[in-house]
Chain A
Amino acid sequence: MTEPSKTVQMALRVNRESVEATVPVRRNLVDFLRDDLGLTGSHVGCEHGVCGACTVVVDGAIMRGCLMLAVQADGCEIETIEGADQSGRLAALQAAFHRRNALQCGFCTPAMLLTAAALLEQNSKPSRDEIRDYLSGNFCRCTGYQEIVDAVAEVAGADT
């Protein structure tokens, strides 16, 4: 691409399905996922990369959906909460969150789950401090965080 363009045609995979789309270049990834693909489980909380609610998985790594253009996902493998839920890979975390009520309004929850899963992939036995550290970029206004930390620790088999 050597000439500037205002829309881009792209092909990517989202939740293990192929997607082709022509998007305005200014649309960010989370708006594209929500508004164009109907994947409303990713949420928009601040649109400046602080709250973490829009976190999605891009080529295996968690990223802020509001700090990436949709066109930058061209050729990428994207996973949102909908895909991660259906794959079953979050099942243990979801069950622990449910049992411990590690969510109230649920707005932060999909991103919190994806972030917690990313932590456990890297570090299967995180300490409470490591859990709090890793989740420190995800704002939750309801719970006070403790039950979330407990739930992640429980799944990691750590002492709670």
Chain B
Amino acid sequence: MNFQAPIGSSLPRDRAKRLLAGRGQYVDDIQLPRMLHLAFVRSPYPHARVKSIETIDAVAMPGVARVVKGADLVGVVSSWRGTHNLFPGLKAPEQHVLAGDTARWQGEAVAAVAARSRAEAEDAAEQIVVDWEELPFVGDAEVALENGATFVHDSLGSNQAFAAEVKQGNTELAFQDAHLVIERRFRFNRHTGVSLESRGLIADYDPSADRLTVYQSHQTPHQQQDLYARLLDIPEQNVRVICPDVGGAFGLKHHLYPDELAACAISKLLERPVKYIADRFESFLSDIHCRDHTVTARMAFTQEGDIVGMQVDDLFHAGAYSQYPRSSIAEGNQIIRLCGIPYRHEHYRAAVRMAYLNKSLLGHIRSVGHPIACAVTEQLVDLGAKQLSLDPVAMRRRAYLRDEDFPTTSPGGIALEHLSFHGCLDRALERIDVDAFRREQAQLREQGIYRGIGFATFVDLTSIGPEYYGEGGQHISAQETCLLRLEASGGIRCYTGATDQGQGIDSGIQQVVAGVIGVPVQDVKVNSGDSELCPVGGGSWGSRGAALAGEAALRAGQELRRNILNIAGVLLQKVPELLDIRDGAVVDATSGAKQLALAEVAQIGHFRPYMVPDNTPSDLTVTGRYASRDRMFLPANGLHVAILDVDTDTGLIVFQRYLVVHDCGRLLNPLLVEEQIRGGVVQGIGGALYEEFIYDDDGYLCNGTLADYLVPMAAEMPDIEVEHLETPTATSELGAKGAGEAGTTGAMGAVLNAVNDALTPFDVTLSEVPLTPPRILRALGKI
């Protein structure tokens, strides 16, 4: 089809104007009559028995409506297990909203106070006396899997949650015969999403209608509707989840959290609205964390610089439980499937082990597993190039999958359409003169300035298909539906199951609808984030909105357009094929002469439908539906290039330049895609340089405030150049692939490679992130 503006136009977002005026409405901005506020008592220990909980003093505190322990919620809310049917070996223990007799991570809630205000709830929570018996804890995945380790869950009889292996070819033989084998052990330390707005919700249960309305800062309203209905035993048609403006999410808001479900259960118990807003302490203690992987990887090369094969062993953990409803396996599973993916090679073996231990849960944060697979692969490629005295660019050029290799299935089992590795590299080299950089680098080294360049090629598995969670047994939609309604005035309302936390998918869909139908973009109003009003959809996660919800919008737009032209054809006594819709009016397709305003068509459709023969499709409320078939993912690709200086006295890093060349297929709105990339890069830089949860020897989190958990701030971040290639996917008509995670996917690898390139004269290699100054100086032997 003909993709016309505003599809592909860099338009600003409708939603932004409200937010700029301070008129956003986030969940904590909402007040309901009779609303109570929750505070939790959380375990101060990584592992402890709860011998008793004394609440007498707390109950007597001013403003307290109820103090709730786990036993109070029996029969109100069910437990769950974070299983996944595609991974039948995954052992997932039962989890409850409030810990019963054992707390298994520092921050696990054991009791809650509902009070008039949050301050009073906190006052009362301080008066709850828990008799804790500290238990031995497991704080490290390697230790967890040793013989004789303390069990996190006695019922499982082991701390091993899952193990799997992916194999192609024969790596043992191939590695024996290889000219060069590079092996490294990598550490990717633990960090999280740190949305500026913390998690929060208001649960409002009305017993007279057995109805639960939840206002929640969340990415997936329909998923939550299903979970609340099932776990709280409320008919699903009586459960409504509304996601108002959401202040950042990044994956940490697409899970079920026990404290949030507890708020719903307490609302049901008390028959009053209950608000729970996690404070920053609680965010750091109880939000889903990510990474915390130890990867040992080997790459084998020919003398000429071809890659023969790869062996990968990933060890990670889920924290104390497998997250729900998606399970915690994905980060490890993505790693073993994605290592080496941009490169031609035939022999591949990758294994993953996942443990349980006494830390808060690990799960899905922006770019699940991808940054790790990318960094591991790209560092091994750089090290191979160095050993073979090859230029890292030339090495990549040689070893990349070539245009003629597609379509193919990667050794890790990922089906690849056409990916533009060479095109991205070409474009990057148009922007960055690597030879000139090397000359400059040599000169700077003479002055004691250590500048480095790092390349990171990535593949991003976007837009997960229904085969993953559908087959996995989770009620998470990978199908998107778009509902369009032509109003009598000629304007169009659009309802989507995708959600917008600022990425701009509302605008992308608006542009698709406007472009497909032929109306001005401001004539389309997109509504999202309401499980009752919007068609069932998956919300936003995993870089899916443009590709899935965008295609559904395209299909709905095509149908509405057809019906509009059918009605117009009847009125004008012309065949619809001779008509077109341009700028919100029905026109003669050849001359462009205006024939009818859309309002005239709509008024016939709504108020005088007898004018149109019954057998002529003329619905003005239509839906379009899209789910991919026979593919698990929609891979996108790109290349990051980082240029930076390492101060070898202080270990501090200063960026000089950052470039991303990205191919996410058809661009709906370059302005918004670029913004996604930049934000993603900075989040990736966070993981590469700053963000790390630090635990002491006793298993306590040491840096649970925003003053000591370091996020990237404006002063240190580079300007980021973004270049686009557009290789549309052939699996949809729109041709869009996901873009939301690509910035994060490659940043860690690019920064790691740039730092190591900068430190070449010192003959050191760092393979642990974040690259903190002490780590850098230790590698340099200065401390």
Contact = CB atoms under 8 A, between A and B. Distances in A.
A109 B24 CA distance: 10
A39, A42, A142 — most chain B CB neighbours (10 Å) = A142
Given A107-B196, A141-B711, A146-B720, A43 B682 contact: no
B29 interface: yes
A101 interface: yes
A109 B21 CA distance: 9
Contacts of B20: 85, 94, 97-98, 103, 106, 109, 113
Given A104-B502, A137-B713, A142 B679 contact: yes
Contact of B247 (A34, A105, A149): A105
A92 to B, nearest CB: 12
A46 interface: yes
B234 interface: no
A39 B504 CA distance: 26
Contacts of B713: 136-139, 145
Given A143-B675, A144-B682, A104 B504 contact: yes
Interface in B666-680: 671-672, 675, 678-680
**A34, A82, A136, A144: residue with the most chain B Cβ atoms closer than 10 Å:** A144
A76 to B, nearest CB: 19
Contacts of B503: 104
A138 to B, nearest CB: 7
A50 to B, nearest CB: 4
A139 B250 contact: no
A45 B24 contact: no
Interface in A81-128: 81-82, 85, 94, 97-101, 103-110, 113, 128
B12 A143 contact: no
Contact of B13 (A50, A53, A101, A107): A101
A66 to B, nearest CB: 10
A29 interface: no
B675 A106 contact: no
Given A50-B705, A145-B717, A108 B196 contact: yes
Contact of B12 (A82, A98, A132): A98
B110 to A, nearest CB: 23
A34 B25 CA distance: 12
A51 B25 CA distance: 19
B720 to A, nearest CB: 6
Interface string B184-219: 000000000111111000000000000000000000
Contact of A105 (B12, B31, B246, B705): B246
B196 A144 contact: no
Contacts of B245: 105-106
A107 B26 contact: yes
Nearest to B29: A40
A41 B24 contact: yes
A48 B706 contact: yes
A135 B716 CA distance: 11
B679 A51 contact: no
Interface string B18-39: 1111111110110100000000
Nearest to A160: B719
B16 interface: yes
Contacts of A43: 26, 196-197, 247
B707 interface: yes
Taking each of A53, A100, A107, which has the highest tally of chain B beta carbons within 10 Å of its own beta carbon? A107
A101 B19 CA distance: 11
B715 A80 contact: no
Interface string B697-738: 000000001110001011101011000000000000000000
Contacts of B21: 41, 81-82, 85, 94
B65 to A, nearest CB: 18
Contact of B714 (A41, A42, A145): A145
Given A104-B501, A107-B247, A45 B675 contact: no
B19 A47 contact: no
Contacts of A149: 714, 719
B248 A109 contact: no
A139 B706 contact: yes
A15 B671 CA distance: 34
B222 to A, nearest CB: 21
A14 interface: no
A51 B119 CA distance: 21
A101 B26 CA distance: 19
B681 interface: yes
A26 interface: yes
Given A81-B21, A136-B715, A44 B28 contact: yes
A3 interface: no
Nearest to B31: A35
Interface of B: 12-13, 15-26, 28-29, 31, 119, 193-198, 245-250, 279-280, 501-504, 671-672, 675, 678-683, 705-707, 711, 713-715, 717, 719-720, 743
14 contacts: A35-B31, A50-B705, A85-B21, A104-B501, A105-B19, A106-B245, A108-B196, A133-B715, A138-B714, A141-B196, A141-B679, A144-B681, A145-B714, A149-B714
Given A41-B23, A81-B22, 7 more contacts: A41-B21, A50-B705, A101-B16, A106-B18, A129-B715, A139-B706, A141-B250
CB-CB nearest 10 A-B residue pairs: A41-B22, A106-B19, A104-B502, A107-B247, A81-B22, A105-B502, A144-B678, A144-B682, A40-B29, A136-B715
